[in-house]
Amino acid sequence: MSLDLPRGWISATLDRRTLLRRTIVGAGLTAVSGSLLAACGGGSSDKTPEAAASSAAATTSSAASTSTAASTSTAASGGSSAATPSSSVAVTPAASAASSGKTPKKGGVLKIPVNTNVTPWPPIGQIQNLLVNKSLFNGLVRFSAEDWSPQPDLAEKWEISSDKLTWTFTLRQGVKWHDGKPFTADDVVWSLKMYADPNVNSILLGNLKPLTAIEAADQYTVKLTSKEPYSSLPELLCYLTFMLPKHLLENEKFDRSNFPQAFIQKPVGTGPFKFGEHQPGDHFTVLANEDYYEGRPYVDQVIYRIVKDQNSTISQVKTGELDVAWPTVAQLAGLEGSSNIRIAEQGLMDYRFFSGYQKNPKFGPWFSDKRVRVAMAYAIDANGIIQQVTKGKGKRSNGPIPPALKNWYFPDLPTYDYNPDTAQKQLMEFGFKKGSDGVLEKDGQKFSFIMYSDTGQPEREQTALILQQNFKDIGIDAKYQGIEFAQLQKAYRVDHDFEAMAYYYVTPATPDLHSYWQTGGSTNEWAYSNTEVDKLFLDGLAEFDPDKRKAIYKQLYTILAEEQAVNYIYHPTELQAISTKLQDWPDTDYRDAMLYLNKVWIE
Amino acid sequence: MGQYVVGRLAQSVVLLIFVSILTFGLIHVAPGGPAVLLAPGMSGAQIAEAQQSLGLNDPIPVQYVRWLGHLVHGDLGRSYSQGLDVTTLITKRLSVTLQLLFTALVLSAIFGILIGVVSAMHRNSLIDHLATGFSFFGMSVPTFWLGLMLIILFSIKLHLLPSSGAQTLGQPATATDRLEHLLMPAVVLAVANLAQIARYTRSSMIEVLQADYLRTARAKGLREQSVVWRHALRNAMIPVITVIALGIPRMVGGAAITESVFAWPGMGQLAVDSALQRDYPTIMGITMMVSVVVILTNFLTDLSYLLIDPRVKLNRG
């Protein structure tokens, strides 16, 4: 594949409104003038690097401390001493069974937007698919809408063996697949082995790799064994690890590039909704599952409607063609005065940051030096970015863990307040000198680099522009370049060919983010390395006592914050525009709200 | 004649191969790679493995020959992004697109001819000038702009028509519902074509209306209505039919834009999606299908000259 195009081809200025871009690409395609294709690029704008903590880094551990059985409630009972700001600041009170206080009604259709065609095949992930998967399938465990702690789903309880190497999951009995067959431990074993099979290439591969044995002890008991202790396993199993029916899939052919044809055209799960109809390019409908283990959902069907243009979702929620939409801060103004819509705000497992590539031959030695990173932190006007870009809705970030992950957020980690003078002074102390053109330089090398960000997302584009100005103010010549999503992912993750990134990450709801921060971790794209941090992650994995785990992770995230492993800027807040007809809409971010659609009802 | 047909068909095959090589090369020049390979959460090693298994690491000519080999066996491959056979995907979308194309074609033919005839009959009158103005507007205005304007007017301001999709979701499908959804995209798609048909009808009619046999028709006392619609129009139609036929490939192209604007779940939309997701097999499948349609239409149009107009002679030497 020829990817050696001049970088300038994909400049930010080429990125017009999505629609215009699609239009040009479409016209170009049919006119067989693909040069436009190359120039306009694509990559739908709202993909997120929703990375599982896949671990290429070997998780070796030598810990063998006292055994503590972690039961269902351990993670939750870790206790949140953290004074977390309420993650939901709704214009009208957020709907929940308690607050609405009304008797739920049955019937009606729930209409939810997705950005592109749905392929209901869990191993491949992707936002549009996982929204639908959450209504069709269940996992062994799932995130609580409250604080993202693992809650029972198809597993009623789970505990760790005394040698800390085997997790035992006890399954719920009497659960049926949509085709009426019973759900048993065989399905769990088959599903987990499938996700762990390198030939399937699932997004969960990294999470399941440490498991050395996946076995059914009896019809309703599953044992998962790893070579080293794996305390974060229940948290990671909440993440998109959907159980699939062995009896339907064991005879279907599939591998990493071919999905099971019969199954993806008529998926069967255990979830609150079963497959209804799929009209590609238009909608994907699921119907209430009369036999759902928690009881029949209130609504008769959920229609996932494909709406490509984000602006259209806003106008459609106004006209009632959709029941929910996820507006940007800029789109809020257009929703004012719509009496049929309420706005909710939710915290997200998402942080925005700046980092140089710490192994880049030219600038790497600077970016890998914590003195330079701290100086750059002083140069960044984080609160200015929060005010300008998010209209004050973002939360100042002190590390990768957001306030919304209540059990694992540490509010008193160090942050560096905006102070360009300190920034410049510290860089001078490090040995930089101001060149004739005002740009800092050291050993004949100018502090001048290209900073990538993804195009099509105004929030991130604006952030990058402010960063560029902040850096320029102290003599760092950062050149922002917008790159489309697919190309960006490749530069960061496959080619490791970039100078700096102004980017974002959506992470699993666990403090065990070792793949991001351990030396050589599979998603450690900025190539941060600190042996103490590496060791603390191993300690965390070997510790099952919630309080002790907490102490370890606090120590770990203090280091990341102190030496600014990357420059953490802010945690965005998700906005939800919800039709006032909807009652008991889950009080959580929209991806996880999909886990609880069976509770939603229409007035 | 037989020899001509065989020759033209052979030319068409060569042209198709050329188009496929060009498209294949160009889509691989586009930066990034198939979006599905870059699924967030996949590690670099996983992406590399997936690329290997899809054969994306082979030289482009090797990949092309492999693709062509499958094509010869009627296999368009499997979509990277949706996991279904490209043939299945295209078939599912084809009928939806044909509904739109057919409606637009009928609309543009009926109204184009009507406007053309009326303009010709009232040459240089106010009506004629209005029609000319409309035609220039129709031919010049960008499709996506017109589409957006109609949506703002009829959907958002007046709440008369649905803004997107092919049916009202959550309700049983009815013919009325489908027509309501079809109206705006069909009109948008028809406008440019309609304008062109109107222009050609007008000039063709003006020419015919001055012909001697029409003077004869009037002289023998036929009503003007009958003169215009039965005698003149029929003779003026020959070039217009050509224009209509040649408009079909252009409408196929326009459908990609129109379908994207109105979220009409047809082939055009599939083409745009596939391009954005770098879904190589689907892009190739659609391009080949559209190319066949375009080449075939042109071929049939040429053939029809041969059949309709005895003055067209094949010039060989």
The whole-number average pLDDT for the span A566-586 is 95
Interface touch B170/A111, C-beta < 8 Å: yes
A17-70 tens-digit pLDDT? 333 443 333 333 333 333 333 333 333 333 344 433 333 333 333 333 333 333
Query: Which residue in the set B33, B144, B163 is minimally distant from A490, CB to CB?
Result: B33
Amino acid identity for residue A402 in this structure: P
CA distance A373 to A357: 12
Contact A22 B272 (CB under 8 A): yes
Cα–Cα distance measured from residue A556 to residue A549, given in angstroms and rounded to the nearest whole number: 11
Mean of the per-residue pLDDT values for chain A?
83
Residue tagged 């198939």 (tokens): B34
What is the side-by-side strand order in the sheet with A324-325? A324-325, A573-579, A341-347
Instruction: Give pLDDT tens digits for B253-298.
Output: 888 888 888 888 888 888 888 888 788 899 999 999 888 888 888 8
| pLDDT at position A82 over 90 | no
* pTM over 0.80, yes/no: no
Residue in this structure with the two tokens 């609160």, named with its chain if needed: A383
Q: Is the pLDDT of residue B53 over 80?
A: no
Interface contacts A/B by beta carbons within 8 Å: 248
- B chain contacts of residue A30, beta-carbon cutoff 8 Å: 252-253, 256, 268, 271, 287, 290
B45 touches chain A (CB under 8 A): yes
Q: CA–CA separation, B293 vs A271, rounded Å?
A: 44
Residue A89 clears pLDDT 50, i.e. is over it: no
Cα(A151)–Cα(A74) distance, integer angstroms: 10
Return the residue in A130, A254, A257, A319 with the most chain B beta carbons within 10 A, the one to mutate for interface testing. Answer: A257
Is A81's pLDDT higher than 60?
no
Q: How far A363 CA sits from the closest chain B CA (Å)?
A: 23
Inspect the interface and report whether the beta carbons of A125 and B43 lie closer than 8 Å.
no
Going B123 to B124 to B128 to B133, the CA torsion angle's sign is positive
Tell me: pLDDT of A401 over 60. yes
Local structure of residue B85 (DSSP, 8 states): B
Helix (H) or strand (E) holding B309: none
> A324-325 and A573-579: which strand pairing?
antiparallel
pLDDT at A253 (0 to 100): 86
Residue B141 pLDDT more than 70?
Answer: yes
Give me the phi and psi of A76, to 5 degrees please. -70, -35
User: Nearest by CB to A38, which of B29, B36, B164?
Assistant: B29
**Confidence at residue A472, expressed as pLDDT on a 0 to 100 scale:** 96
Give the model's pLDDT for residue A152. Answer: 96
Quick one: pLDDT at residue A43? 34
User: Residue A479: pLDDT above 80?
Assistant: yes
Question: Which of B 59-98 lie inside 8 A of A, CB atoms?
Answer: 60, 78, 80-85, 89, 92-93, 96
Q: Which positions in chain A touch B162 (Cβ < 8 Å)?
A: 321
pLDDT of residue B313: 62
Phi, psi of A517 (to 5 degrees): -120, -15
pLDDT attached to residue A395:
95
Pair of tokens at residue B299:
């071929």
pLDDT for B293 equals 83
Give me the residues of A, 27-46, that contact B with CB < 8 A.
27-32, 34-35, 37-38, 41-44
Per cent of chain A over pLDDT 70 is: 83
Question: How deeply is A153 buried, as exposed, middle or buried, from its count of CB atoms within 10 A (0-12, 13-18, 19+)?
Answer: buried
Q: Which residue from B minimizes the CA distance to A299?
A: B170
| Widest pairwise Cα distance in chain A | 77
Q: Judged by CB atoms within 8 Å, which residues 95-124 of B form the interface with A?
A: 96
Size of chain A, expressed as the number of residues it contains: 603
Evaluate the CA torsion angle B192, B198, B201, B204 in order and state its sign. negative
What span, in angstroms and rounded, lies between the C-alpha atoms of A448 and A436? 14
Residue A556's contacts (CB-CB under 8 Å, 6 or more residues apart) are A511, A517, A533, A536, A537, A540
Predicted local distance difference test score (pLDDT) of residue A64: 34
Torsion on CA atoms A436, A438, A442, A448, rounded to nearest 10:
-120
Q: How far is A116 from chain B (nearest CA, A)?
A: 8
Measuring CA to CA, which residue among B298, B293, B232, B243 is closest to residue B108?
A: B243
Please, are residues A569 and A504 in contact by the beta-carbon 8 Å criterion?
Answer: no
Least confident of A23-37, A242-256, A397-411: A23-37
Distance from the Cα of B74 to chain A's closest Cα (Å) equals 18
Contact A595, A152 (CB under 8 A): no
Of the residues A4, A20, A23, the best mutation for testing chain B's interface (the one with the most B CB atoms within 10 Å of its CB) is: A23
State whether residue A8 sits within 8 Å of chain B by CB.
no
> DSSP readout, A302-352?
EEEEE---HHHHHHHHHHTS-SEE---GGGHHHHTT-TTEEEEEEE-SEEE
Minimum-distance CB partner of B253 among A20, A22, A31:
A31
Distance of alpha carbon A230 from alpha carbon A310, whole angstroms = 40
Q: Are A236 and A52 in contact (CB under 8 A)?
A: yes
pLDDT given for residue B38 in this prediction: 57
Chain B partners of A316 at a C-beta cutoff of 8 Å?
163-164
Give the best residue of A33, A285, A494 to mutate against chain B (max B CB count within 10 A): A494
Q: Which residues of A touch B35 (CB under 8 A)?
A: 43-44, 47, 485-486
Question: What is the three-state SS of A467-498?
Answer: HHHHHHHCCCEEEEEEECHHHHHHHHHHCCCC
Sequence-ordered alpha helix ranges (H) in A324-445: 332-335, 364-367, 370-379, 382-390, 420-430
| Chain B partners within 8 Å of A487 (Cβ) | 31-32
Beta strands at A109-114 and A301-306: parallel, antiparallel or unpaired: parallel
Residue A546 pLDDT: 93
Residues in chain B: 317
The 10 Å Cβ neighbour count of residue A556 is 26
Tokens of A25: 């690409």
Contacting residues of A for B281, CB less than 8 Å apart: none
Our CA-based measurement puts residue A87 at a distance from the nearest CA of chain B, in whole angstroms, of 25
Tens of pLDDT, residue by residue over A425-462, are 999 999 999 999 999 999 889 999 999 998 878 889 99
Across the interface, of B60, B265, B272, the residue whose CB is closest to A25 is B272
Q: How far is B167 from chain A (nearest CA, A)?
A: 9
- Angle of CA points B297, B303, B308, to nearest 5°: 120
The alpha-carbon gap from B55 to the nearest alpha carbon of chain A, in Å, equals 10
Are the C-beta atoms of A240 and A205 separated by less than 8 Å? no
Distance CA A531, CA A38 (A): 42
Q: Which of A256-265, A345-354, B178-187 has the lowest mean pLDDT?
A: A256-265
Identify the pLDDT of residue A59.
Answer: 34
**Taking each helix axis from N to C terminus, what angle separates A370-379 and A458-473, rounded to the nearest 10 degrees?**
110
With H, G, I as helix, E, B as strand and everything else as coil, classify residue B43. Answer: coil
How many other CB atoms sit within 10 Å of the CB of residue B61?
A: 11
Q: Mutate which of A29, A265, A483 to disrupt the B interface (most B C-beta within 10 Å)?
A: A29
Query: What is the C-alpha to C-alpha distance for residues B129 and A480, in angstroms, rounded to an integer?
Result: 52
Question: A3 to chain B: which residues are within 8 Å by CB?
Answer: 31-32
Instruction: Choose from A1, A36, A350, A516 for mutation: most chain B CBs within 10 A.
Output: A1
Confidence of residue B167 (pLDDT cuts 50, 70, 90): confident
Please enumerate in sequence order all residues whose Cβ is within 8 A of that of A165, keeping only pairs 6 or more positions apart, or say none: A225, A226, A227, A228, A229
Helices (H), A232-273: 233-237, 246-249, 261-265
| A395: its two tokens | 């939360």
A601: left (phi over 0), alpha (psi -120 to 50) or beta: beta
Decide: A485 and B31 in contact? Cβ < 8 Å: no
Angle value at C-alpha B32, between A471 and A452, nearest 5 degrees: 5
Contact A519, A534 (CB under 8 A): yes
Query: Residue A487 and residue B32: Cβ atoms within 8 Å?
Result: yes
Specify the 3-state DSSP secondary structure of A577.
strand
Q: Residue A291 and residue A304: Cα distance in Å, rounded?
A: 22
Question: What whole-number distance in Å separates Cα of residue A222 and Cα of residue A230?
Answer: 16
Residue A504: is its pLDDT beyond 80?
Answer: yes
Calculate the alpha carbon distances from B115 to A585, B125, B171 in Å. Answer: 54, 13, 38
Show the tokens assigned to A115: 């950005």
> Which H or E run includes A167?
strand A166-171
List all residues of chain B from 198 to 257 with a beta carbon under 8 Å from chain A.
252-253, 256-257
Backbone angles phi, psi at A18, to 5 degrees: -50, -45
Q: What is the pLDDT of residues A99-125, one digit of tens each?
A: 567 889 999 999 999 988 898 999 887
Question: Is A2 buried (19+), middle (13-18) or exposed (0-12) by CB count in 10 A?
Answer: exposed
Question: What's the rounded Cα separation, in Å, for the pair A47 and A457?
Answer: 10
Chain A within 8 Å of B167 (Cβ-Cβ)? yes
